[in-house]
A and B are shown apart, each in its own frame.
Chain A
Amino acid sequence: MNILKRWLPTISAALALGIDYALPNASSKYEAAHPYLRYLLICLIVLYCVYALAAFWSRRARDWIDRKALFAGAVILVLNIYNVVSKKYSLIPTIYFPSVDRILAVIVEDRSFLLSCFLSSGKLLLTGFLSGFAAGFITGIVVGFSKWGNYWIMPVVRTIGPIPATAWIPIVLVAFPSSFAASAFLIGLSVWFPMTVMTSSGISNVQNSYFEVSSTLGAKKWHQMFKVGIPAAMPHMFIGIFNGACSSFIALMTAEMLGVKNGLGWYVNWQKEMLAYSNVYAGLLIIVVTFSLLTTLLFRFRDHVLQWQKGVIKW
């Protein structure tokens, strides 16, 4: 049974490939220069075949495919159904739902332009995220550790924080010299707020006894901040980073409406206005894959840093 499950993605992809060959296309509007879907399916078949075979001797491959097989098989099945509904029988409007071939064709044929969009989005996101992260970290520490900070800064944080990025656009456009700086500011702001709130609440939730113990071990005020307060607040900070990352993705899409001439969000908007939906989907696909990769990386990083939280085996 398990062995059969391991072959599910391969079978599902082979089925999709068979159907694509067997059924005629409903209209030439769906066709691209190359049958990209078939190429993709063949790649998938090869990939999952290799894993299913490797599972016979490699434990890692076995664990991976046993965990993923069902999901991968289902996703490929959905792709198959979409292909049948659109390209093969044209049951949904062509203009809004282009074939998979067309979407993949955009990614392949428009790759250099998409890459430049990707890079400029990446630069904007990175600049905004890192500056927002640093600002939030510092504000959070000041608010968390000093009564002064809590009294004067916290109300400001609470007032400014929940204002959505779009509401800032009129002010930001006037206040910043370039649209890049303005966009980076919007992204930074959206990271800054959750980071500040979670860092300061993490620090104020640290058990007082940790500070007491550390002071009897010879810790000065400075040590208490960096050797006790911050490590103890780390789990909270990671929640702040995650929330910040999510809102920065949203803010990025908003920010790219501020007159920048490049970027994935801008690309999607522009193509939507031109009713080029295969380009819209291609852009969205890249955005989705990138963002989910970034979140996965963040999760890995957190698991590595917060290793001490894992496992509750007692002996």
Chain B
Amino acid sequence: MVGEIKAESLTKRFSQNDVEDVTALNGVDLTIQAGEFVSLIGPSGCGKSTLLRLIAGLISANEGTIYLDKDLIQSPSCERGLVFQDPNLFPWLNIYENVAFGLRLRRQYRGNKTKVDEFLELVGLSDFKKSFPHQLSGGMAQRAALARALINTPKVLLLDEPFGALDAFTRMNMQDELLRIWKEQGTTMVMVTHDVDEAIYLSDRVIVMSPRPAKIEKSIDIKLFRPRARSSPEFLALRSEILKILDFGGKVIEPNYYL
């Protein structure tokens, strides 16, 4: 198995003009096993997206190091696929060409044409090859974005709130799709999300982060069998545990009057 991520004492500061620097991450240590599905959850400003971008190599840390299978991460690479909340499909290419983009860049398209069809099949878009991105619905566009990232057979797939912009039903469908793809491909998945249910439903482990100073609050193993029932007592127990850590536990307030 490949795709183990090891981050050691990561610190990232963003300079804000004149004012003192904002610390987005403060000495974060994190190990993600190969093939693991991990969710990063926390309120905005807790540095979870920063952590993801550091792993992607889009930004570099002020202190600390990240390794992917013993290789130091310094710049973006096709080993670490990235899917944003906005699918960011290239509007000038049709769906087929979007998915084939990575292969063409690395001059591997000629020998691997069937691979494009394979991945379109994997995300269920075989009938929409010739469509342009603006012709697809949000969910379909996001599937295409998944296929585009997965065709490079990345060791890690980084997901930055991938289903955040989708409606509730599409989101639940996409979550099942993602699980199926994960099982088929065995890629390590690191997902940033705001949705506690989503995190529990999908992940092997949920990492709860807290802001100011941004650090990892707690790492919770989700030891539930898949497929998981979203309303089972175990599920709900985990949910309230995580919400409590996030300070949304809900203090019970005595109502002023009873009906």
A308 touches B92 (CB 8 A): yes
B92 touches A234 (CB 8 A): yes
Known contacts A308-B132, A312-B134, A315-B135; A216/B92 CB under 8 A: no
Please tell me if A210 contacts chain B, counting CB pairs below 8 Å. yes
Please tell me if B91 contacts chain A, counting CB pairs below 8 Å. yes
- What residues on B are CB-neighbors of A218 within 8 Å? 77-78, 102, 105-106, 152
How many interface contacts (CB-CB < 8 Å) are there between A and B? 76
A219 touches B105 (CB 8 A): yes
The segment from A19-27, A147-155, A192-200, A224-232 that touches chain B is A224-232
A234 to B93 Cα, complex, angstroms: 12
B92 touches A231 (CB 8 A): yes
A308 touches B94 (CB 8 A): yes
A231 to B89 Cα, complex, angstroms: 13
Main secondary structure of the interface of B (DSSP, over half): loop
B82 touches A213 (CB 8 A): yes
Q: How far is the CB of B84 from chain A (nearest CB, A)?
A: 6
Partner of B135, one of A209, A212, A228, A311: A311
Q: How far is the CB of A232 from chain B (nearest CB, A)?
A: 7
A215 touches B58 (CB 8 A): yes
A219 to B152 Cα, complex, angstroms: 12
Known contacts A218-B102, A218-B152; A213/B84 CB under 8 A: yes
A264 to B5 Cα, complex, angstroms: 71
A212 to B134 Cα, complex, angstroms: 20
Central interface residue in B81, B92, B105, B134, by most chain A CB within 10 Å = B92
Please tell me if B48 contacts chain A, counting CB pairs below 8 Å. no
- What residues on A are CB-neighbors of B75 within 8 Å? 215
A214 to B101 Cα, complex, angstroms: 9
Partner of A217, one of B91, B92, B105: B105
A264 to B158 Cα, complex, angstroms: 62
- What residues on B are CB-neighbors of A309 within 8 Å? 91
What per-residue 1/0 map shows which CB atoms of B77-118 lie under 8 Å from chain A? 110111010101011111000000110111000000000000
A228 to B101 Cα, complex, angstroms: 10
A250 to B132 Cα, complex, angstroms: 38
Please tell me if B149 contacts chain A, counting CB pairs below 8 Å. yes
B interface bracket (residues with beta carbon within 8 Å of A): 20 to 34
Please tell me if A158 contacts chain B, counting CB pairs below 8 Å. no
B134 touches A216 (CB 8 A): no
A228 to B86 Cα, complex, angstroms: 17
- What residues on B are CB-neighbors of A312 within 8 Å? 134-135
A218 to B154 Cα, complex, angstroms: 10
Q: A228's closest neighbor in chain B, by CB?
A: B90
Please tell me if B148 contacts chain A, counting CB pairs below 8 Å. yes
B86 touches A216 (CB 8 A): no
A313 to B106 Cα, complex, angstroms: 33
A178 to B246 Cα, complex, angstroms: 78
- What residues on A are CB-neighbors of B135 within 8 Å? 311-315
Please tell me if B137 contacts chain A, counting CB pairs below 8 Å. yes
Which of chain B's residues 53-68 have a Cβ closer than 8 Å to chain A? Answer: 56-58
A228 to B97 Cα, complex, angstroms: 13
B105 touches A216 (CB 8 A): no
- What residues on A are CB-neighbors of B149 within 8 Å? 216-217
B106 touches A232 (CB 8 A): no
Please tell me if A292 contacts chain B, counting CB pairs below 8 Å. no
Q: How far is the CB of A153 from chain B (nearest CB, A)?
A: 27
A227 touches B105 (CB 8 A): yes
Q: A306's closest neighbor in chain B, by CB?
A: B92
Please tell me if B76 contacts chain A, counting CB pairs below 8 Å. yes
Q: B78's closest neighbor in chain A, by CB?
A: A218
Which of chain A's residues 94-114 have a Cβ closer than 8 Å to chain B? Answer: none
Partner of A213, one of B88, B92, B106, B132: B88
Q: A310's closest neighbor in chain B, by CB?
A: B132
What are 10 sample pairs from A and B whose C-beta atoms fall under 8 A apart? A212-B76, A213-B84, A215-B58, A215-B75, A216-B57, A217-B152, A231-B93, A308-B132, A313-B135, A314-B135
New A-B pairs, 12, CB < 8 Å, besides A218-B78, A232-B91: A209-B84, A209-B86, A209-B88, A215-B76, A216-B56, A216-B77, A217-B152, A218-B102, A218-B152, A228-B90, A308-B92, A308-B94
- A residues whose Cβ falls under 8 Å from a Cβ of B: 207, 209-210, 212-219, 223, 227-228, 231-232, 234, 306-309, 311-315
